[in-house]
Structure 1
Amino acid sequence: MTSGHAPRPAPRAAAVRGTGGRLLVDTLAGLGVDTVFGIPGIDNLEIFRHLGRNGIRVVTPRHEQGAGYAAHGYARVTGRPGVVLTTAGPGLLNAAAAAGQAYSDSVPVLFLSAGPPVGQPPGDGLLHEVKDQSGAMDAICAWSLRATDAGLLKELPARAFHEFATRRPRPVHIEIPADVLAAEVSWAVPPETDTGAERTAARTARTAEPGGIAHAARLIAGARRPVIVAGGGARAASAALSRLSQETGAPVVTTANGKGVIDEGHPHALGAALHLRSARDFLRGADVVLAVGTELADTDTWSGPLDLPGDVVRVDIDPGQRDRNAAAARALTGDADAVLRQLLAALGAMPGRTPVSEAYRRELARVRDRIDAEHAGQGARWTALVDALRAAMPPEAVLTSDSSMVSHYGALKGFRVPRPDTFLHPTGFATLGFALPAAIGALVGRPGLPVVALTGDGGLQFSVNELATAVLLGRPLPVVIVDNGGYGSVRTEQSRLGVPPLGADLPSPDFTALAAAYGAHGVVAASPASVSAEVAAALERRGPTLITVPDPSPTPGDGND
């Protein structure tokens, strides 16, 4: 006869009945979603009905493209997926440019939209009808699928969040047919004891195979002129990458998305400099290049593939990056942080490793000076402004930028940051209108974090309507606008190529008056000192402040978007 208590029966899942819209929202809440960016419309109201009941905050932009950029900014500063909710048709397609930017930058954003009823053929003239909106989004996102039955309302969001955590995190789209949203369905809810089963997954520590680690470690250990190139895929590996740089003596060059992976004040940090010839020349002399989480793309080099005659070791979660833009002597597929820690352990187990020479260390100081001097010449027009911004902003503050000359010639290299995800720039796809809504998303995701947006008059006017969103948000938000009356980078190219100057010279509105019309604050800052003072004041002021800066020392045929 045995003694003791009888085993307690396992808790049983409770059955719930409701609409497909409720099931979708319950699923999102179970995945840890606390915020969605979106605009209510006739065909998605069954989703909006249930958001408040689940404690999910709705941030309503004035345009769905703004929703997409805001979700992008939210994802970058929180490390959690952003979620966008739109109507079918125009609402979803308005967000398509933001989906393209998230794909280019490998940012996890879930786009949710309504869709036509199951079995409804196209061409019947339904409201918001599109020939094939899921097909359109599938061409932009990692994938786009229709949730044609209630079970898929649980399965597809869970799949999306699992892939965000285990693969290269690119945006996805789920279309929910109108009849599936409205249908009464039943589903099982996990018992209270089953906590965490559906919550947002942490980044999976996918390691590389040991033989590859051993080979890569030998290459790195034998290097006399090692260099690390860090991209956006290295952002979560900042501590491991910084330690690897310190232990091997390898300097670090970053892409725009990798900016801050190593503190840019560190002696080994060469900054976001792949677009500078002096950095590319230095890389040509490296005997081993460790490329972590980067495509080594033209949008980072600005001049085609890098010339890398030495051995290239690539670390990437995406196995398709093995030989893209630079063939790998050894490719390590896995999570950057986990793989770099494997490399550190393997290097630590190698006795008698010879550190890089003192001559190489001295050379790094000269290379850094050459890179800084080249940047100073290229970005001289914006140096004082960028320095003024840096002086006014706390070290932990986030700067969002636009695809404008003040950003990519001035701030990309010149605005130094101590950690990743504090400079959010639309690389690759290079959309305009990103800075303001991305700043809003960053403020929503991290309310206590100071955020500043940097843009041009052309870029701002792609999304200036989001000032209304920022006013309702009520958080301090300086928006610095470099105003030259048009699309300056286009003017520059027109002049260089001998194209007639058409369509690029556009008069700017009175931004101060425009700010007042939205209920925001507006000022003009004519000098770097006044920029610094106005930004500092705006960081203490409730709501957004538009700070207009006349284009500094413009030259014929040059300009700033």
Structure 2
Amino acid sequence: MTRNGGDVVVETLEALGAHTVFGIPGQHALGLFDALRRSELRYVGSRTEVNAAFAADGHARITGSVTPLLVSTGPGALQTLAGLQESAAGSAPVLGISSQIPSAGLGGVRGGYLHELTDQLASFRDVVKHARVVRHASQIPSALAEAWEIALTAPFGPVWVEIPQDVLLGPASVPPVTSVAWSPRELHPRAELVEEAVRLLNGADRPVILAGGGAIGASAELLELAEKLRAPVVSTFGGKGNFPWEHPLSAQSWLEDWHTTEFLADADVLLVVGSGLGELSSNYRTFRPRGAVVQIEADLGKLESNYPALGIHADARHALRALASGVTARAVDGAAEQRVLGLLASVRERFSEQELDLEWQVLAALRAAVPDGTPTCWDMTILAYWAWSAWDPRGGAQFSAQGSGGLGYGFPAALGVAAAVDGPVLAVSGDGGAMYGISELATAAQHGSRVVWLIVDDGGYGILREYMTDAFGQATATELARPDFVALAGAFGVPATLSTPESLREDLAKAFAGDGPHVVVLPAVLRMFAPTHLEHT
């Protein structure tokens, strides 16, 4: 057969280093999907485009490289937007490749095409880092290489390329693609800024580091700097796992606790790495620094966007390496470690004053059952809110939808992670969020994905129920009819277990011992811990 534009796409993706692609076919994209069977690329198909986008997000985060997402025009493309928004917020390098209506109709020149949008690209420009329409097969290799490079230039993020149907189906005007050159732009710190930051840190009596999601991938440099400075490290929710949880300098992640907020504010020099100090990291903007702030941030728009600082526009890895080389190592006198112990003791004391035995019981059972090193994916549910602060990753990546806050992330993202790792993966959802991804049980069964899906069934949107009750005295539109999740999983051919708080550890352990997907349903109404930031505003 004659090679077509679809072949050029898959040849280019292979040359760029792709191994697995996600997505859903559609009428305009058939040339692209037909080309997949002539390639070595592994295809993982989802049941909705938003779930395919979440799966690609999970895969991109766990691999640290670009993950292609292939979809069709109009409704198929638009349904990826929620997933791409999360990828943008979480710096996941997803490469969205969408078909388009035939070239003759682009821009509304001719109307009446199926799935037609006058300007489909406009829907993506404010979500992704980069968006482009390809109009000829000869443009495909360069356009995809450009997008790949941009996705992997700090800060990482999603990119978008559209290719018209006739270009995908038409004969290729270029020879087979065997190699494609790409090189992400390295973002190094300016020397005078590093020099000033070193001066501030060397002169600090109480330095503290706040490590965000941008510090993921720079764990070795972060550890070296913290130990040389004897600086406690607080991890943001998106930065979990970038510093050893039980390290004597680890102040963990209790960012919604006033004691931690005060701990950060009391630093005479606070080094913020890979965080924009947004709503969650600033404890809903109650954080008021009393010392100097040094902010390392690869996203130029986030630099000093919330707090004045010595702003260093750089990749965290390069900046931390430069700072670690420049600062003077301090003697280990135990003072910083004692401050950390005091902080964590204050946090524990506050919790002891609240009736949260069930929540701690569930967390303990979960942590005991999940094997060390297991990646975890969390939906927007009360247990995930606890996990942001309380979960010890123990060497396993921790991903959640807290970047943009959309429902339905946990299970499809875990399927994407499972496509890249050998061991099991944990997904956690509430019953409300679970319904967004319930169709992906078919995907899990089809691919034999080793995902243990814990569904905490509290009968509705538990977080919104709690928020509305606190604010208005009662909740509206939060109660949900839902299926028998155990029976429903069985209908997909996926084993499932109805659990209790008392049997949860054993039930999860059995699920993790399996070699395929497993659903564990826990009927329980969990509560959030008291938000102490409200008492101090």
* Among candidates 517, 527, 550, match of residue 491 of structure 2: 517
Matched ranges for 1:214-363 at <5 A: 214-304=195-285, 306-329=287-310, 331-347=311-327, 350=328, 355=331, 358-363=334-339
Q: Distance in 2 between matches of 1:285 and 1:161?
A: 42
Residue 190 of structure 1 deviates from its aligned partner by: 6.8
* Among candidates 372, 380, 383, match of residue 403 of structure 1: 380
Counterpart residue type for residue 393 of structure 2: V
Counterpart residue type for residue 513 of structure 2: E
Residue 535 of structure 1 deviates from its aligned partner by: 1.3
Provide the aligned length of Structure 1 versus Structure 2: 526
Residues 286 and 553 (structure 1), Cα distance of their counterparts in 2 relative to 1, 3 Å cut: closer
Gaps of at least 5 residues in structure 2 are 529-537
- TM-score, with normalisation over the residues of structure 1? 0.89
Q: Can you list the C-alpha shifts for 1:456-489, whole angstroms capped at 9, x where unaligned?
A: 1011011111011011121332111111111111
> Could you tell me the percent identity over the aligned residues?
31
Matched, 1:440 2:415: yes
* Among candidates 356, 365, 382, match of residue 388 of structure 1: 365
Counterpart residue type for residue 16 of structure 2: L
Q: Distance in 2 between matches of 1:23 and 1:302?
A: 48
Residues 519 and 100 (structure 1), Cα distance of their counterparts in 2 relative to 1, 3 Å cut: same
Q: Can you list the C-alpha shifts for 1:424-453, whole angstroms capped at 9, x where unaligned?
A: 11113111111100110000011x132111
* Among candidates 519, 523, 526, match of residue 550 of structure 1: 523
Matched ranges for 1:168-187 at <5 A: 168-187=155-174
Matched, 1:531 2:536: no
CA contact (8 A) 1:484 1:551 kept: yes
Counterpart residue type for residue 519 of structure 1: G
Q: Can you list the C-alpha shifts for 1:236-286, whole angstroms capped at 9, x where unaligned?
A: 101110121111111111111100100111121122222221110111110
Q: Distance in 2 between matches of 1:449 and 1:334?
A: 34
Q: Can you list the C-alpha shifts for 1:389-408, whole angstroms capped at 9, x where unaligned?
A: 11111210011111111111
Q: Distance in 2 between matches of 1:158 and 1:300?
A: 35
Matched, 1:134 2:107: no
* Structure 1, 268-277 or 21-30: larger mean CA deviation: 268-277
CA contact (8 A) 2:356 2:527 kept: no
Task: Identify the residue that residue 143 of structure 2 maps to in structure 1.
Answer: 156
CA contact (8 A) 1:375 1:413 kept: no
Counterpart residue type for residue 20 of structure 2: T
1:119 is paired with a residue whose SS is helix
Counterpart residue type for residue 487 of structure 1: Y
* Structure 1, 51-60 or 203-212: larger mean CA deviation: 203-212
CA contact (8 A) 1:299 1:427 kept: no
Counterpart residue type for residue 130 of structure 1: L
CA contact (8 A) 1:382 1:552 kept: no
Matched ranges for 1:54-133 at <5 A: 54-120=39-105, 121-122=107-108, 124-133=111-120
Matched, 1:468 2:442: yes
* Among candidates 388, 399, 407, match of residue 424 of structure 1: 399
CA contact (8 A) 1:486 1:506 kept: yes
Q: Distance in 1 between matches of 2:58 and 2:448?
A: 17
Q: Distance in 1 between matches of 2:103 and 2:394?
A: 51
CA contact (8 A) 2:411 2:437 kept: yes
Residue 150 of structure 1 deviates from its aligned partner by: 2.3
Task: Identify the residue that residue 25 of structure 2 maps to in structure 1.
Answer: 40
Q: Distance in 1 between matches of 2:447 and 2:52?
A: 14
Q: Distance in 2 between matches of 1:103 and 1:378?
A: 37
2:439 is paired with a residue whose SS is helix
Q: Distance in 1 between matches of 2:345 and 2:185?
A: 39
Task: Identify the residue that residue 533 of structure 2 maps to in structure 1.
Answer: none
Q: Can you list the C-alpha shifts for 1:169-209, whole angstroms capped at 9, x where unaligned?
A: 11111111112212223225577xxx7x537x5x7653212
Residue 493 of structure 1 deviates from its aligned partner by: 2.0
Matched ranges for 1:364-383 at <5 A: 364-374=340-350, 377=354, 380-383=357-360
Q: Distance in 1 between matches of 2:282 and 2:410?
A: 22
Residue 367 of structure 1 deviates from its aligned partner by: 0.8
1:337 is paired with a residue whose SS is helix
Counterpart residue type for residue 525 of structure 1: S
1:314 is paired with a residue whose SS is strand
Residues 553 and 154 (structure 1), Cα distance of their counterparts in 2 relative to 1, 3 Å cut: closer
Counterpart residue type for residue 288 of structure 1: V
Q: Can you list the C-alpha shifts for 1:135-161, whole angstroms capped at 9, x where unaligned?
A: 111122123221122233112211111
Residue 499 of structure 1 deviates from its aligned partner by: 6.7
Residues 87 and 374 (structure 1), Cα distance of their counterparts in 2 relative to 1, 3 Å cut: farther
Q: Can you list the C-alpha shifts for 1:351-376, whole angstroms capped at 9, x where unaligned?
A: xx655864443222101222344466
* Among candidates 24, 31, 36, match of residue 16 of structure 2: 31
Residues 361 and 268 (structure 1), Cα distance of their counterparts in 2 relative to 1, 3 Å cut: closer
CA contact (8 A) 2:296 2:313 kept: yes
Residue 301 of structure 1 deviates from its aligned partner by: 3.5
CA contact (8 A) 1:282 1:367 kept: yes
1:459 is paired with a residue whose SS is helix
CA contact (8 A) 1:273 1:413 kept: yes
Matched, 1:143 2:143: no
Residues 553 and 258 (structure 1), Cα distance of their counterparts in 2 relative to 1, 3 Å cut: closer
Q: Distance in 1 between matches of 2:169 and 2:358?
A: 57
Q: Distance in 1 between matches of 2:348 and 2:216?
A: 23
Task: Identify the residue that residue 455 of structure 1 maps to in structure 2.
Answer: 429
1:478 is paired with a residue whose SS is strand
Q: Can you list the C-alpha shifts for 1:33-60, whole angstroms capped at 9, x where unaligned?
A: 1111111121111111222322001101
Task: Identify the residue that residue 13 of structure 1 maps to in structure 2.
Answer: none
CA RMSD between the two structures = 2.3
Residues 169 and 360 (structure 1), Cα distance of their counterparts in 2 relative to 1, 3 Å cut: closer
Residues 276 and 367 (structure 1), Cα distance of their counterparts in 2 relative to 1, 3 Å cut: same
* Among candidates 36, 46, 67, match of residue 51 of structure 1: 36
CA contact (8 A) 2:271 2:294 kept: yes
Find the structure with the greater CA-based Rg: 1
Counterpart residue type for residue 324 of structure 2: L
CA contact (8 A) 1:117 1:177 kept: yes
